[in-house]
Amino acid sequence: MINFKRQANAIKNFKENKHDKNDPVNKINKNAIIAEIKVHSPKYGDLLKNRKELDILKIYEEAGAVGISYITDKQHFNGNFKVFEEICKNTELPVLRKDFITTKDEIEKTAEAGASTVLIISRLLKEETAEFVDFAMSCGLDTLVEVHNKEEIEVAKDTKTSMIGINNRDIRKLELDDGTVSLTEKLANLIPKDRIIISESGIANLNDLNTVLKYTDAALIGTSFMKTNFETQKEFVKSFVRGKYE
User: Other CB atoms closer than 10 Å to residue 131's CB: what's the count?
Assistant: 12
Binding-residue pattern over the window 15 to 54 for ligand IGP, x denoting contact by CB under 6 A: ---------------------x-x----------------
Total number of residues that touch ligand IGP (CB under 6 A):
19
Binding-residue pattern over the window 148 to 187 for ligand IGP, x denoting contact by CB under 6 A: -------------------x---x-------x--------
Residue 61 among the catalytic residues? no
Q: Which residues of 24-47 are buried (b: 16+ CB within 10 A; e: fewer)?
A: eebeebebbbbbbbbbbbeeeeeb
Residue 234 among the catalytic residues? no
Of 120, 140, 4, the C-alpha closest to 61 is: 4
Is 32 or 203 the residue whose CB approaches ligand IGP more closely?
Answer: 203
Residue 98 among the catalytic residues? yes
Binding-residue pattern over the window 84 to 123 for ligand IGP, x denoting contact by CB under 6 A: --------------x-------------------------
Could you give the 3-state DSSP secondary structure of residue 163? strand
Please report how many Cα atoms fall inside a 13 Å half-sphere around the Cα of residue 105, on the Cβ side: 0
User: Other CB atoms closer than 10 Å to residue 50's CB: what's the count?
Assistant: 6
Q: How far is CA 203 from CA 83, 100, 200, 207, 212, in A?
A: 25, 21, 7, 9, 9
* Window contacting ligand IGP (CB under 6 A); options: 25-33, 184-192, 198-206, 234-242: 198-206
Residue 154 among the catalytic residues? no
* Window contacting ligand IGP (CB under 6 A); options: 9-17, 22-30, 107-115, 196-204: 196-204
Q: Does 146 bind ligand IGP (CB under 6 A)?
A: yes
Q: Does 72 bind ligand IGP (CB under 6 A)?
A: no
Residue 92 among the catalytic residues? no
Could you give the 3-state DSSP secondary structure of residue 100? coil
* Window contacting ligand IGP (CB under 6 A); options: 18-26, 186-194, 209-217, 218-226: 218-226
Q: Does 71 bind ligand IGP (CB under 6 A)?
A: yes
Largest CA distance in the chain: 46
> From CA 138, how far away is CA 119, in angstroms rounded?
15
Beta carbons of 68 and 87 less than 8 angstroms apart: yes
Catalytic residues: 36, 38, 98, 146, 167, 200-201
Positions touching ligand IGP (CB under 6 A) are: 36, 38, 71, 73, 77, 98, 146, 167, 171, 179, 200-203, 220-224
